[in-house]
């Protein structure tokens, strides 16, 4: 028997920032600046995969009030043009970029 205890749909507002960068150095620099910004906003690091990090506000897992996904991409990295965890696909070409997906849980 399977019992579904989740009675409420958890809706989130997504604020997605896509920043194109010129080269690997600029990409790493902007990525580090975004990490500082996100940590300064009160979120804590949840996961660190080197070129991809997740943060949350320390509240209810798996449905925190605020969460951020930060990704650093470089040309021919083998990853598609998807903004993590949103299903959003962007076609900006094979380029350097940093993406930040900041989510806020709606009441």
Structure tokens belonging to residue 94: 């094979």
Q: Is the pLDDT of residue 80 over 60?
A: no
pTM of this structure: 0.80
Give residue-wise pLDDT tens across range 27-67.
Answer: 999 999 999 999 999 999 999 998 889 999 988 777 889 99
Domain borders along the chain are 12-105
Per DSSP, the residues of 41-107 read: TT-EEEEE-SSEEEEE-SSSSSS-SEEEEEEEE-TT-S--SEETTTTEE----S--EEEEEEEEE--
CA distance 23 to 41: 27
């Amino acid at each position: 028997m399977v019992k579904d205890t989740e009675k409420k749909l958890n809706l989130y507002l997504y604020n997605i920032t896509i920043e194109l960068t010129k080269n690997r150095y600029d990409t790493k620099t902007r990525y580090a600046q975004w990490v500082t910004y996100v940590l300064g906003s009160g979120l804590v690091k949840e996961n660190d995969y080197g070129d991809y990090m997740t943060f949350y506000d320390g509240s209810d897992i798996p449905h925190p009030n605020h969460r951020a996904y930060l990704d650093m991409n470089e040309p021919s990295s083998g990853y598609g043009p998807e903004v993590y965890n949103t299903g959003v696909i962007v076609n900006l070409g094979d380029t350097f970029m940093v993406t930040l997906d900041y989510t806020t849980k709606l009441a």
